[in-house]
Structure 1
Amino acid sequence: MKTVGAYEAKTHLPKLLERVSQGERITITKHGVPVAVLHPPESQRKAEPKKIISALRNFRNQNRLNGLCLQKMIEEGRR
């Protein structure tokens, strides 16, 4: 784990965030005392596109407009 001072962290935050996004953990110190740890979120997995598409199709099949016309609903909201 890399350690950086608070001033360096402030000055180089974008670079530090890029390193953290690649999985590195960085400890930030103030006068040599650790005060914070930057680390990537626990669940950084990307959802599989096939699962997302399937979920959207299931939602669409379960939620119908029952004869309502989306275009008419939009036009009514514009009046």
Structure 2
Amino acid sequence: MIQTLEAIVNESGQVRLTQPLDIKGWHRALVTILEEPPAEAVEAALLSESSLAADWERPEEDEAWSHLQ
């Protein structure tokens, strides 16, 4: 199945997806560079993602939000 995902590419060519991707194994991908820059909110969210992930991925967080699953 072909999927289309939004991503942000920085000046060094690093690609960051704006949403999670769940696939198994290796896949080929095509990257299309658009002319307009990313929305500021999306860019800020991506920049803070790694620092917030340390808190999000703790067992205490899973327990605190388990009632919503």
- TM-score (structure 1 length as normaliser): 0.25
Alignment TM-score, normalising by the size of structure 2? 0.28
Of Structure 1 and Structure 2, the greater strand share is in: 1
Between Structure 1 and Structure 2, which shows a larger proportion of helix residues? 1
